[in-house]
Every structure is written in structure tokens, then in C-alpha cells.
Amino acid sequence: MARLNLLEETRYEKLPVSVYSNQHEASVAVANRIADLIRSKQAKGEKAVLGLATGVTPIGVYAELVRQHKEAGLSFKNVITFNLDEYYPMKPTAQQSYVTFMYDNLFSHIDIEKDNVHIPDGTLDKDEVVAFCLAYEKQIEELGGLDLQILGIGRTGHIGFNEPGSAPNSGTRMVTLDDLTRRDAARDFGGKADVPTKAITMGIGTIFKAREIILMAWSKKKAPIIKKAVEGEISGDVPATYLQLSQHVEFVLDADAASELTRFDTPWLVKDCVWDSQLKKKAVIWLANEINKPVLKLTEEDYNNHGMAQLAVEQGPVYNINIDIFNQIQHTITGWPGGKPDADDSQRPERALPAKKRSIIFSPHPDDDVISMGGTFIRLVDQGHDVHVAYQTSGNTAVWDDDVLRYMEFAIDFTKSIGEDTAHLQKSYEDMRAFFPTKQPNEIDTQEIRNVKGFIRKTEAISGARYAGLQDDHIHFMALPFYETGKTKKNSVGEEDIQLTIDLLQKIKPQQIFAAGDFADPNGTHLVCFKIILAALDRLKGKEAWVEDCWLWMYRGAWHEFETYEIEMAVPLSPQEVIRKRNAIFKHQSQKDTPVFPGDDAREFWVRAEDRTRDTAQRYDRLGLAEYEAMEAFVRYKF
């Protein structure tokens, strides 16, 4: 019976999928399977032939294999490896090289024979590539093929660098990279312009010959493409769908990557559910959007025809369900993000008391505050709350080199105008002009250049916060040390990061904290900054009385919004407030037009922000709520 239930739950899935609660558990599980294969082959006196992948996804697997080598005696003497791909052209010593990646994350820490390591050669002349690829295939065949191939998946659906349009029988070859793939890699190269346009990759046909294939994916960022790969039709537009044809494949996912699969996203379509308040709200909103009806117009027939008969029977009549959900959504809307004084707050998202709250807005980068919640920021100040803003990082990696020269030229001219000596400034300026033309992709700037870039972003942040109404002593620059590497890859969070946050919190003793909960931020800084805040609050909890009366609200940044059923506070903005927010964003001139790291969205940040908040308002309108110009959304995090 249990097996039948599982088959029903997974009936939309066209290949085997294993889901773990987090990527660490999933990575350990995959590493254990690799270790078991290696030991099994060792016992038989045979070689284990592994196909390996690069990127963020397999790092945890490699870390666990290294741990087992060092702590559990796992030997790699009998292991032969073939990597999936490499950029072309690419020097093996380059920071972005997959040779560098593999040695940094695995090979340098284990006892594998160097002659047993095979990675596509990014230094070949073009006329040598075809012969190299044929030899690569021949080496794998002569060893009897791959015992196990591990894969990640790109947002285009590529496996290896087999981009959309790749043939299912393709072999190792040179390919042209998709634009989205290059945009995703831009941060590693210091900008998309420096990302190679070509790569050498194993083909889908080569991958298919492996006796076992494991595709791994973590995070909500991968959820949409995982749904297409697992539940979609086989198509060259999504190369990973070809894996549906294999009898030896398994997808290993964390809960976030699996979140859009039918059994997790809309479970009422495949099984009976335990209808808690959150699931009921999600289902009713889904139904309203699915058939394009306001919530209060949904009928019993609508429920029955769309997999929600169980809810109608157990908690109906459906009109009562509709009214309940409508009221829940309506009660999220407030024009008083700090709480409305002298009002009944039982149906409001924020407390009425204290009437004037101490609020702190944590901004991971120097512009996230106004981009993400600029309207609410201004509203809090206008309504008389004691608002502080804390910029957690300098953001100094996201400034164009040209801007540095422009500001240095200004500094030199100004210094001359007041009769001061400019010799030192002029020397620094000449050094910078000499450095920039020779700068390699993602090469660390000199300390002076990093300082100037940080000063540019600092002055912009001050200007934006002042425009929102803050006094200078309410504007705080934390410059958390984890960020200050000069590289896109940051250090691990340290004690100083947490202590600086504790010190600021103890100084302000806020009743409200606003923090970036945009964990799909492709640059990763938002999640790190949020975890630092949580670590600080965890240490203060039970020791500082004010913490018990402090609420933490998460906002989302330029990347995407909360789902409607998740939203707990929606702050409507008037047309005039949308303009004020736009003007605050405009203060960040270095991020205007084309920022250094735009993500995969060509729109300017202010356009993204306005489109996102208008879309949130329209989603509420379609459900039958009042029509507003725009809305900023928040979810409370209970710590």
C-alpha cells in the first residue's frame, strides 16, 4: 500500500528522484555511494572510473570524500577520473579553470595518482581539439566506460556544457556557451565580457554510457529547471530531459531544489493532504490563479475539478473557506509598517505598541535598502519611527574601474582648487591607470582602488538614506570582514562579523529589524548577511530583555518576490511614493544603467523594483483585493 501511495505521489515524475532535507545530507549520501563503489572495486582489484563535475553543486560531495580519505582511510589509488568539461580557451592555472577547481576541492587532498586524472585541455590550438575529443572518448571506452557519472544542472537545463540544441547521441566536442550560462558565470570572471564563449564538454551520448548517473541540484534557484527536467516532455530545449530515457539515472535533490515538483508544490493534485492553515491558503490562492477567478467567486465545482475535493468535504462549505482565506490575505495589507497607534492590532501584521518603534534596516549591499523596501523605509521615517539603516558590506567589488578614475580626477582637481599638494593623489592615480589595462579577470584590486570603490558606494548610500529622511547618526557602515577580500569569493563568516552585529544591535535595541531574506540572490551575500544577524540574535536572546520584544521582518531584493501565500505584511505604495522610492534608488549612481553584476536580468534595478512591486499589487488585485499602485512584501521570521 505504501508503494502504491508513493507511485501516486510521484506520478508526474518521469525518472527516480531522491529528496533530502538539505544539501549537506544529500552531499554526504552521494559521497557515500561513491566511496562504496571505490571500496567495492578495490575488493575486486579493479579500477573505479568516475565522471566528475565542477561548480558549486558537488563541492559538498568532494569535501565529504576528502574527510573520508583523511579520517576513514578511503584510498583513491584505484580511481581514474574524467571531468565533464572545461572552458575554452583556459589556462589550467587560471582561477576560473576547472583544473584549479578540481585540485583545490579534491585532488590535492587525496592520494589519487595524477596520471589517473583527466580534464579537457583548454590550452589546445583549435585544430587540435577534434583529435583531443576523440582520444578522450577512446580513453573512457578502453577502460570499459564510466562506472558512475555525477552531474549538476544549469539553469538552461544543460548537463556538462551540453546546451539547448545538443543531440542525445553527442560525443565529446567543442561547444558554444548559452548566454544565460555565461551570465551565471560572470561573477567568477569579473564580468560577462571575460567569460569564454566556448567550452570542451563530454557529450550527452558519452554521459549516457555510464553505468550509473547521479544528477544533483540544490537551492530554489534550480527548482524551475528541475521541474522541467523531471516532469517535462523530452526536448532538446532542455538537454537534461534526455536523462528520462536512461534506466540508470537518479536525481538527488535538496528540499529547495525539489520544491516545484508537483508532489511538493501542489500536493493536493496527487494525494490527500493534512490541511494546515498555510497549505489551505496556498491551495486556494493557487486555485484562484489557475482558473483566473477572485477568491470569493470560487465554487465547489472549481474545488472538485482541480484536485481540492478533499478540502471542500473536510472544511467546507467552500464559501466559508473562501471568506477565511480572503480575510487572511486582506489582513496582511497595512499602511502602517511600524504598527498603527491607538488601533486594534489583533488583525494587523504589526503591533500597535510601542507607537514609536526603534527600527533597524539591515542592507547587505549599500543599495538593497532602497531597492527592496524603499517605500516602506520612507513610510517608517514619515510616520515618526526611530529608524536606523546598517550597510553590512562595502559593496566595493561592484564598481566599474572607470568610475574610480573619474572620482580620482575629481579629487585631484578639488585638491588643486584649494591650494593643496596633489603629488600623492597624482601618483596613486597614475598607478591606477597603469594597473587597469593589465588587470586580469577577477584579479584583486589594489587596496587603494578598493578603498575608492568603497567610498563611492558609501557616499551613494548616505545620499539615499538622507533622501529617505535619516539623520547622519542613524546611518551605520559595518564593513563586515567576511566581505572584504577584494574578490567575488568571500571569506567564511568569523567571530568579528557576529560581534560587530551584536554591538550595533545592543546600541540600538530595536523593536523591529528588517533584513534581506532574498536567499536566491545569485551573489550569495544576502544569505550570509542574514545568517550573521541570526547568529547575533541567538547570542543575545535570553540575555537582553529587548530581544524578546523584537520582531524580524524579511524583505526580498531585486531578484524575486515572496509567493503570495507566504506574505505576512504587504505595504501599499501610492504613485507618489513609487516616485520617491525611485529617486532614492537613483542616488546609487554607480549601479545605474548597467551594474557590474546585474544577474540574469537586463533591466535596471529601479525598473526591476517597480515591476516587482506592481506585480505584487496586481496579484492581490486578481484575488479580489483592493487595487493599489504597488506593494512591498514582508515575511516575519520567528527566531
* C-alpha to C-alpha distances, 466 to 377, 472, 582, nearest whole angstrom: 11, 7, 14
Find cell 530515457 and name the residue: 245
> In which order are the strands placed within the sheet that holds 48-52?
17-20, 249-254, 213-217, 148-151, 48-52, 79-83, 117-118
Band (pLDDT 50/70/90 cuts) for residue 597 is confident
Closest CA to 149 of 257, 20, 49: 49
* C-alpha to C-alpha distances, 290 to 32, 302, 303, 322, 339, nearest whole angstrom: 42, 10, 11, 15, 34
pLDDT, position 181:
87
Mean pLDDT of 525-538: 95
More confidently predicted of 561 and 149: 149
Contacts of 622 (CB under 8 A, 6+ apart): 288, 289, 292, 294
Find cell 572552458 and name the residue: 87
Other beta carbons less than 10 A from residue 542's beta carbon:
9
User: Any idea which of 44-58, 260-274, 402-416, 516-530 has the lowest mean pLDDT?
Assistant: 516-530
pLDDT, position 489:
67
pLDDT per residue over 129-142, tens digit each?
Answer: 999 999 999 999 99
Strands (E), 32-128: 48-52, 79-83, 85-88, 117-118
pLDDT per residue over 226-244, tens digit each?
Answer: 999 999 999 999 999 999 9
> Which residues, listed in sequence order, are joined to residue 555 by a DSSP beta bridge?
516
pLDDT per residue over 446-486, tens digit each?
Answer: 999 999 999 999 999 999 999 999 999 999 999 999 998 76
CA angle 434, 438, 439 (to 5 degrees): 105
Find cell 515538483 and name the residue: 261
| Cα Rg, the chain, nearest whole Å | 27
Is-contact 369 515, C-beta < 8 A? no
- List 64, 86, 137, 163, catalytic entry: 163
Q: In the annotation, is 163 catalytic?
A: yes
Q: For the whole model, what pTM was predicted?
A: 0.89
Mean pLDDT of 53-79: 97
Contacts of 72 (CB under 8 A, 6+ apart): none
